[in-house]
A and B are shown apart, each in its own frame.
Chain A
Amino acid sequence: MAIRVNLITGRTIQQGVSMEAGKEKPAYTAACGIIELDPADFKKLGAFRNTNVRVTSDHGSVIVKAVEATQGPHPGVAYIPMGPWANMVVNPNTYSTGMPTFKGTPVTVEVAKSEPVFSSLELVRKGCRGELA
């Protein structure tokens, strides 16, 4: 079962705190290796809260944990805190302004229970070495 949503990214206080505490630490993965979905979208996806999901766009794919929106409702809009996980799938097109399109990337979300959410360092390392599925 898969759903299409519009992905945006940005800061959260947890992202900020865990970033300053060390991006190599699990707390950073817990804060940013997630996707916030609206309850309505959870229903469509037919998944429980806190399930790992694969998020795929035209630009890439990443495994994150699906959690319920903390600042909702926003049906049809999904939120991944700014960081390496979001940046695996955001639209890099700058329209010749220098700014990638971090907000407003159409993505597919599908349940991927058994697949792991990598830490930030693992994720970029594996990505650079072409070791990601």
Chain B
Amino acid sequence: METVTLTIKNQPDLFLEADTITPDAFAGKKIEEIADLHVYVGREQHRLGDFFEISGKAGATPEETKIVVNGDLSRVKYIGMKMTAGEVVVNSNTDMYVGAWMQGGKITVNGDVDAFAGTGMKGGELIIKGNAGNYLGAAYRGDWRGMQAGKITVTGNAGSDIGTFMNGGEIVIGGDVDVHVATHAEGGRIIIKGNAKSRLGGQMVEGEIYVLGSIDLMMPGFAYREDVDVDVDGIKGRFALYEGDLGERHRKRKGQTIYAKLYQRIEA
């Protein structure tokens, strides 16, 4: 695997739209060609090379290409957008849409990300070592096809509206989450190792939420069923199982209504 290293040299005075920072865009290109890729500040078009020192070498294919991005990237959007393969490492906080619509490969952010990371994710792995913003792994506005597959792991906390319209894949939050989790979800799994506030599983059709910490307020549409032993994805313990959203539509299998499941840990 070949590596291209980007180091930001000029900070944009507004925000930098850099959806070209992906293995797909870099693969098979010379450094000069990569420097000529387009980025935008407002309506102005610039070269990637105008903002970044670029060194190293890109692989022949996305699979063989790794990108390391250094410097303060807190005003850079769209890193890793739509990537299908390869690897991106961001050694900084960064802004919105990290890994949005990504289909494969791996993104590691050694810092915080802002909203809409992993929007409409179809596959691959997104690892955030800091905190994540709102709408993590959610659907784009109006789309009923949210996160389809892949895995998002956040070491710190996440904001509101994670996993909206989630259909598949997995989101693991090491810390706490804000309101509205897995709204309208029809599949997938969300694991919250810290505490949750309220509106978990609102309008949820199918899928699973695991909460290891506290929940401020349970939705009226979620009913306690029983205590169960859980051993999933390294999470072991005794959990209270709730089913819902009782107000929402659900399909039936063999005459049995299939609800979304919310597990809250009682003891480790």
Contacts and interface: CB of A to CB of B under 8 A. Distances in A.
Interface in A75-114: 95-96
B134 interface: yes
A95 B179 CA distance: 9
Interface of B is mostly: loop
B116 A95 contact: no
B61 to A, nearest CB: 35
8 contacts: A95-B134, A95-B160, A95-B178, A95-B179, A96-B115, A96-B116, A96-B135, A96-B160
Contacts of A95: 134, 159-161, 178-179
Contacts of A96: 115-116, 133-135, 159-161
Interface of A is mostly: loop
A132 B116 CA distance: 36
Interface of B: 115-116, 133-135, 159-161, 178-179
A95 B199 CA distance: 14
Nearest to B114: A96
Contacts of B115: 96
A98 B178 CA distance: 17
A95 B198 CA distance: 14
A92 to B, nearest CB: 14
Nearest to B135: A96
Contacts of B159: 95-96
A96 B159 CA distance: 10
B15 to A, nearest CB: 15
Nearest to B138: A96
A95 B160 CA distance: 7
Nearest to B134: A96
A95 B159 CA distance: 8
A16 B134 CA distance: 35
A101 to B, nearest CB: 11
A96 B136 CA distance: 11
A96 B95 CA distance: 13
A95 B134 CA distance: 7
B122 to A, nearest CB: 22
A32 B115 CA distance: 35
Given A95-B179, A96-B160, A96-B161, 11 more contacts: A95-B134, A95-B159, A95-B160, A95-B161, A95-B178, A96-B115, A96-B116, A96-B133, A96-B134, A96-B135, A96-B159
B154 to A, nearest CB: 16
A30 B79 CA distance: 51
Which of B116, B133, B134, B159 gathers the greatest number of chain A CB atoms within 10 Å?
A: B134
A115 B134 CA distance: 40
Contacts of B135: 96
Contacts of B178: 95
Task: Give 4 nearest A-B pairs by CB, closest first.
Answer: A96-B134, A96-B115, A95-B160, A96-B135
